[in-house]
Amino acid sequence: MKTTQVLCKILLLFVFTVGALQAQEIDFEQKKVLLVYGGWPGHTPEIFAKRMNSWLEAHNAKVIVAEDTSIYADETVMAEVDLIIQSITMSNIKMNEAKGLLNAVKNGVGIAGCHGGLGDSFRNNTEYQYMIGGQFVNHPGGQIAHSVQITQPDDPIVNGIADFSLTTEQYYMHVDPNVNVLATTTFSKEHDDWIENAVMPVAWKKTHGKGRVFYLSLGHSDEIFDVAPVWEILTRGIFWASKSKYEASEAWMHPVY
């Protein structure tokens, strides 16, 4: 074989290896995950829960599925779970349920989720928003083509994932300045000209007490989870959040004004 042919093959192998999205090895090692769904049916929470339950069980998690927030008031369940995944858009939460949820996370239970199921739940509960680190306020233009930029490529949740484009809701959120932003999107002037060039977090991680919190703003409809980087970021974020009882907490203060 000529040297040029060998070099070409090496180059092609390199391009393929770098270009392909490498799914991260995930093993929950029998950790207990509470999967809670409900709320506004437009976000098809039951379909999300089925997809997530299958994936969790395939990756060695012990899953408890609940169809409403009443389980948050069950102190026994909340003390033994490692992670909560929630998909409840809007809806309401009772005081004792919110207290149970917030206390569990403060004590080291992780919480993770996406889109309105975590970032637009219980609009009248500011303590909940304080925990998540952001609240949906609009998606100008509805379903629109836009892109997502990875801002912390060294973080394991987004490592090896390239910037990507998709057509779905581009969430405009009110965001806690002390979240660790992993990916962003930039708004155009097409639908609301006063937000032109606004750079908005799409994925972040934070802590609330001892508990890890992971949020991804993508996830309007079931087919969005077939977009490889969307599912990869969500599942890696979920895995990260599942470990707050077992790993040291990470410290950050962002941004420095």
Tokens at residue 256, please? 């420095």
Number of residues that bind Zn ion (CB under 5 A): 2
Q: How far is the CB of 180 from Zn ion (least distance, A)?
A: 24
85 SS3 class: strand
Rounded Cα distance, 127 and 170, in Å: 25
Where do the H-state alpha helices sit in 20-136? 45-58, 75-80, 95-106, 115-119, 126-132
Residue with tokens 């991804």: 216
Q: How far is the CB of 18 from Zn ion (least distance, A)?
A: 33
6 SS3 class: helix
- Under 8 Å CB-to-CB from 247, ≥6 apart: which residues? none
Q: How far is the CB of 169 from Zn ion (least distance, A)?
A: 5
From 65-73, 157-165, 213-221, 247-255, span contacting Zn ion (CB under 5 A): 213-221
Residue 220 touches Zn ion, criterion: CB under 5 A: yes
From 8-16, 120-128, 205-213, 220-228, span contacting Zn ion (CB under 5 A): 220-228
DSSP, res 184? E
Residue nearer to Zn ion on the CB measure, 208 or 220: 220
Binding mask 153-192 for Zn ion (x = CB under 5 A): ----------------x-----------------------
Q: How far is the CB of 19 from Zn ion (least distance, A)?
A: 30
Q: How far is the CB of 35 from Zn ion (least distance, A)?
A: 19
Binding mask 69-108 for Zn ion (x = CB under 5 A): ----------------------------------------
Smallest CA-to-CA distance from 229 within 121, 116, 114 is with 114
From 28-36, 104-112, 142-150, 218-226, span contacting Zn ion (CB under 5 A): 218-226
Q: How far is the CB of 174 from Zn ion (least distance, A)?
A: 16
H or E segment to which residue 149 belongs: strand 143-150
C-beta neighbour count of 186 within 10 angstroms: 15
Residue nearer to Zn ion on the CB measure, 28 or 48: 48
Rounded Cα distance, 130 and 121, in Å: 12
Q: How are strands ordered across the β-sheet holding 211-216?
A: 62-66, 32-39, 83-89, 110-114, 211-216, 199-208, 180-186, 143-150, 164-169
Residue nearer to Zn ion on the CB measure, 61 or 230: 230
From 8-16, 142-150, 192-200, 217-225, span contacting Zn ion (CB under 5 A): 217-225
Which residues make up the interface to Zn ion (CB under 5 A)? 169, 220
